[in-house]
Amino acid sequence: MEVKTSLLDNMIGVSDMVLLEPLTEDSFLENLRKRFDHNEIYTYIGSVVISMNPYRSLPIYTPDKVEEYRNRNFYELSPHIYALADEAYRSLRDQDKDQCILITGESGAGKTEASKLVMSYVAAVCGKGQEVNKVKEQLLQSNPVLEAFGNAKTVRNDNSSRFGKYMDIEFDFKGDPLGGVISNYLLEKSRVVKQPRGERNFHIFYQLLSGASDDTLKKLKLDRDFSKFNYLSLDSAAVNGLDDAANFRTVRNAMQIVGFMEDEVQSVLELVAAVLKLGNIEFKPESRCNGNDESRIKDKNDLKEMCELLGIEQSVLERAFSYRTVEAKLEKVSTTLNVAQAYYARDALAKNLYSRLFSWLVTRINESIKAQTKSRHKVMGVLDIYGFEIFEDNSFEQFIINYCNEKLQQIFIELTLREEQEEYVREGIEWTNIEYFNNAIICDLIENNQNGILAMLDEECLRPGTVTDETFLDKLNTICAKHQHFESRLSKNSKFLTDHSLPHSCFRIQHYAGKVLYQVEGFVDKNNDLLYRDLSQAMYKATHSLIKQLFPEGNPAKVNLKRPPTAGFQFRASVGTLMKNLKTKNPNYIRCIKPNEKKASHIFTESLVRHQVRYLGLMENVRVRRAGYAFRQLYEPCLERYKMLCKRTWPHWKGPAREGVEVLMGDLQIPTEEYSYGRSKIFIRNPRTLFSLEERRRECLQDLATLIQKIYRGWKCRRQFLLMKKSQIVVAAWYRRFAQQKKYKKIKSATTVVQSYTRGWQARKLLRELKYQKRCEEAATTISAYWHGTQARRELRQLKEEARNKHAVSVIWAGWQGAKVRREYRKFFRANAGKKIYNFTIQRIMQKYFLSLKSNMPSMSPIDNKWPNRPYLFLDGVHKELRRIFHHWRCKKYRNQFTEERKTVYEEKLEASEIFKDKKALYPSSVNQPFKGDYLEISKNPKYQKLSSAMDEKVLLADVVNKINRANGKGTARIFLLTKKSVVLADQKTGQVKTSVPLPDLDSVSVSTQSDGFFALKLKEGSASAIKGDFLLSSEHLIEIITKLHRTGAMAADREQLNIDISDEFLVQFKQDKVCVKFIQGVSKNGNSASCKRKNNRLLEVLVPSLA
């Protein structure tokens, strides 16, 4: 049985602040300090997780920790961010409830790291599989890209998110991720042109200059020296713990995994370089004859390089920096820009260029990670947005950020109260109203459509005439003067007239997190966020592939005289949409706290933490949870934990768990007003009651431990005694066995000796008798042998005598005949002896030569080059001529065996050699394979009778191929038919014709150089067959198919010869999109066959096994 620990076991401080007793702000902070000092950085407030930034790595995020918190109850283990992530994921998967995880806190409190931990945990516990792993990897790798372009080093955080991010992760019914959608809010684009002291620009600028290769920087016309760029601050260019070069490589790799094409990455880097070049453009004044000052560019080198990067005519952009065209209904007015206005135009262009590039990146990432299926998805949203900010100089950006945090605090209080109320109603517990601070009055002060600050700011921006930050402040003083959360030095409220902490150009808002003083300077300009139309039109004229997408308003054909919406209006609409989205999901909260301003570990600054606890409303959250009941638990775990306190429930309770808890509480005599029974849980009102139960349980566990030890020791002693008794019996039995074996061996040895002596005596007696019999038999045999020998020698002498007499007669007759012949031969030899000997010798040599050829004749194969060696030099000409005649005769015999079909096959083999030899690795293995053509026997097979009857011409080739699907890279079986006029693809099961392509519509065929069977049939543009796009197929008989296609095209007089393109990377047209098919070598999951998989919407990758 698995042993499960509890939240209440081995506590350091109090793990859940709801159980803190007494509950004061000091005790709250002391509990946080105590846990922080013991590396317990997570603490609960009910279902809310408080996360303290440790500013160092802790061993609490290992794979073992993931498995420990997987599928466990929220309060079952000590507090951890994994517990909240697991609770949200299981609610989404099992209960079909959409979830959202809201991560809030100050800059530097660890919000971004918390969002990464949540996403990594969900990725670790959800399903596995090639497609699922690809989606998870893309979702995780989107973070480094967005951090590089949207994060920067600030005085409070080395990796501060300067934009708000909300990601909806979409899951299927099994809980496997399908994709995601990212929304970004209010990028701090003013940082592009100016950074406060001690802070840096966005990471990507420093990463590009530090990590890009020399060739890349040369193409981008950049230098590694940060000091050569005006937009980069030098006092904090290098940050301890940040390796910009390594991070640049990480970003490049992440962009490739997410699905960015190489040309897209290059385009993005060119725009980043253009922003740096733009900051180096400087202006000088020049007086005109009419007395007006206009601006001129000092050094045009940076302007020239920027125009070369973006593909813009230098004169067009130079004029846009010097003149501004104002368009009314029927007229245009061109005015010159002075130096200050030119610098404003330059910075406005830089900010707009970078912010629009960032928005394009988010859109491009969404395109890659979006879910492919259109069915209903389960959604888990993760919100990582900037925290509440109070700086020395607070401007429009801080005002908007704090407004967003006001809305998040409002929804936090509403949803927390709603969740508490819903649980009481669900459990049948009486609900008591809870008093809390409602910040709706602050939200109304900012966002009211009539008298709100944002509405008045928009009204000032749209008002004709001279509009300045001072007129806007005057309007605030007039309308918001009596508001209790608005303060200004010129307010009608007299108590602020003598408040010297309020400068004249500032106003103060009392937020839920405290009072914030805002500098009104720049509010109007930042809200307007204007980019001169001349600059937009100049950007639209660029030849760069990305610029025109970023500046669509620059199209002269689509000039819109309507004023664009203000930044405040757009952000208020985005926040409103976000709040509606969050209210439709079940919320989960992570409240991040920064322990100190030094970004150092083991330092707990009480004043800083106290300030964050106040503005995060954590004390109010605890009071909301404790207003009704401080602790609640299901009946089953409650009974399991405390059943040892009652004899009636220990050790086993056989009835329902609720009845067991009722018996337990009654036996413990706990006052009934301290607890209530819900439908599935018991609710305990006061933490003291819970701690009393825990104390009793601790004492009972000690008694139980003593009892268990006593029983264990008795059992251990009995077991030891029985073991010794059993051992004694075994030892005695073994000894008796050994004694008997020893006695038996002695008796056996004596018996063996006696038997051996007896058997020896008997054997010797028998031997003597046998020897005597043998001697008698040998004597008789010897006498008989001598007698037979005498008789044989006598007969031999008689036979020899007769033979000598006969031989004498034969010798005399032979001698006489020889003498007679010699006399006759001597007469004949004297006349023609030399010539006849010569002819006879030549005749015998030729006879021997031809007989030798006959016995050593080579085989009838025309490729056999063997031939017997020449025996005599004078036969050299004859030897060669005979070899030539024999080879010609042998070839004629071989050719006479060919049929017309076999002759055609050899011609096709020859043509295949010309096309593929030394060009494709698959060709050598196809040489020994005969070209059959009709592999399906389509005319004989009754399954394809209907398909055979539909073909008007003779089928030159019939085979089964796989048609590759672009969406997933998987193949679908199709019948491939080739006739003299067309290529036909038909369904393998039904035989129905799917596609028929006339051969004149084929433009070319593309194959790789490797040992795969993939080939692409490319159709001519504009042909009737090209509507659905090209065909990507794979076949085991690729060499034969391409050869027959090429041969059929070459034999037709009215058609052009078919082009064969052999390359490891080629483009295939699928309807309106072109997809790159790339062949790489590696280990395929299909064994020795190639496999195809989709990398992204524009790339199919074919993995070809390496040849052994």
Residues labelled as active-site residues: 107-108, 112, 157, 160-161, 387, 389
Residue 57 CA to residue 39 CA, distance in Å, equals: 11
Give helix then strand counts, H and E, for the chain: 30, 31
Amino acid making up residue 343: Y
Considering only CA atoms, which of 966, 1091, 978, 952 is closest in space to residue 1045?
978
Neighbouring residues of 328: CB distance < 8 A, sequence distance ≥ 6: 561
Single-letter code of the amino acid located at 383: L
Q: What are phi and psi of 632, to 5 degrees?
A: -140, 145
> Which are the contacts of 1071, defined by CB distance < 8 A and separation ≥ 6?
1028, 1029
Residue 631: beta bridge partners? 684
In what helix (H) or strand (E) does residue 181 lie, and over which residues does it extend?
strand 177-185
**Residue partners of 616: CB distance under 8 A and separation at least 6:** 104, 105, 513, 591, 593
The tokens of 925 are what? 């293995």
Q: Which of 432, 451, 456, 431 is nearest to 441 (CA)?
A: 451
For 367, half-sphere exposure in the C-beta direction (CA atoms, 13 angstrom radius) is 13
Q: Of 466, 535, 585, nearest to 92 (Cα)?
A: 585
User: Who contacts 700 (Cβ-Cβ below 8 Å, separation ≥6)?
Assistant: 644, 645
What tokens were used for 311? 């593909």
Residue pair 111/193 in contact by the 8 Å Cβ criterion: no
Residue type, 46: G
Across 820-930, the runs of DSSP E, i.e. the strands, are none
What residue has token string 């590696």? 1082
* Cα 684 to Cα 773: distance, rounded to the nearest angstrom: 119
| Dihedral pair phi/psi, residue 507, rounded to 5° | -140, 160
How long is the chain? 1108
Phi, psi (rounded to 5 degrees) for 215: -65, -40
- Find tokens 């067009």 and name the residue: 316
CA atoms within 13 A of residue 989's CA, in its CB half-sphere: 1
Burial group, residue 342, by CB count within 10 angstroms (0-12, 13-18, 19+): buried
- Of 651, 115, 681, the residue nearest 424 (C-alpha): 681
Chain centroid, CA 850 distance in Å: 78
Q: Is 444 helix (H, G, I), strand (E, B) or coil?
A: helix
